[in-house]
Amino acid sequence: MLPRGDALSAWATAAQQLLPGLRVAALPKGEGALVLLGAEHDVEQAALQVETAIDCLRPDHVGLELCQKRFRRLFPLGLAAFAQLPPEERLQLQAKLRSGKDQLSAAAAAHRLGIPVALCDREVRVTEARLLARLAPGDLVAGSLAALGLNWDCPEALEDAVADCIIRERDKVLARRLSTLPGLALGVLGVRHLEGVLEHVGKATGIWTQMWTPCAQLPPGFKREV
């Protein structure tokens, strides 16, 4: 049974308490529902809790903040090959990741449960090209020096371009693709994208939601059966 209305809200509020490493939001869409997990990409606790959420909710689809190129970086031999590695080796590979721990964990959990995975982000090459097109050469040099910690102020033009090209534009792409996933869909994305994606999904569906506050426990019997 798909969570709807009060049941969906109750699950989201309970999940927020049980998954303190994530920000949880949910809203109905069409005949299904969309649950969003906002995570810090480099935090091990968040990655583990993403897996817990997928195990509990058993969604029909899992949407990732990845494009094909970034997916191949995480799984150069494919997701099935990664799943066949010994558990210790999988954990070692995840521990070595500087970023994307949540995405790897979500993809692996979905594969283990036979849940389709959707790559919902814009191609990284498009994002890089749009960012570079916004910036003058001097801004790029100044930004590079600031990133190296050389006591150089980061230009405002660079900050604005990053906010637009890296965050806001991709919020729209993620929202559009996540909202089209049928049934009960679960999206795993960086916490900085969560509010923007919610805003755009709300505009598309005419339904607004919020990040939920904690409650005592999961509603009895809510865990989906497969």
Looking at residue 145, its pLDDT comes to: 52
Does the pLDDT of residue 226 top 80, yes or no?
Answer: no
Structural domains for the chain: 5-123+174-205 (3.40.50)
Looking at residue 209, its pLDDT comes to: 46
Looking at residue 153, its pLDDT comes to: 60
Does the pLDDT of residue 1 top 60, yes or no?
Answer: no
CA–CA separation, 47 and 19 (whole Å): 11
Does the pLDDT of residue 54 top 90, yes or no?
Answer: yes
The gap between the terminal CA atoms of the chain, to the nearest Å, is: 11
Under 8 Å between Cβ of 83 and 111: yes
CA 129 to chain centre: 22
Looking at residue 126, its pLDDT comes to: 94
Condensed to tens digits (0 to 9), the pLDDT of residues 162-174 reads 888 889 999 999 9
- Closest by CA to 186, choosing from 112, 122, 116, is 116
Looking at residue 223, its pLDDT comes to: 44
Amino acid at the residue 198: L
CA–CA separation, 58 and 85 (whole Å): 23
Residue 105 has, within 13 A of its CA and on its CB side, a CA count of 30
For 185, list phi and psi in degrees, rounded to 5.
Answer: -110, 140
Looking at residue 127, its pLDDT comes to: 92
- The number of beta carbons lying within 10 Å of the beta carbon of residue 203 is 12
Looking at residue 80, its pLDDT comes to: 93
Condensed to tens digits (0 to 9), the pLDDT of residues 175-212 reads 999 999 999 999 999 999 999 999 898 765 554 444 43
Looking at residue 85, its pLDDT comes to: 92
Looking at residue 220, its pLDDT comes to: 36
CA–CA separation, 118 and 88 (whole Å): 26
Tokens encoding 196: 């923007």
Condensed to tens digits (0 to 9), the pLDDT of residues 113-164 reads 999 999 999 999 999 898 888 777 666 666 565 555 545 566 677 778 888 8
Does the pLDDT of residue 53 top 60, yes or no?
Answer: yes
For the chain, what's the residue count? 226
Strands across the sheet containing 184-190:
23-29, 32-39, 184-190, 61-64, 117-119
Looking at residue 5, its pLDDT comes to: 58
Under 8 Å between Cβ of 210 and 5: no
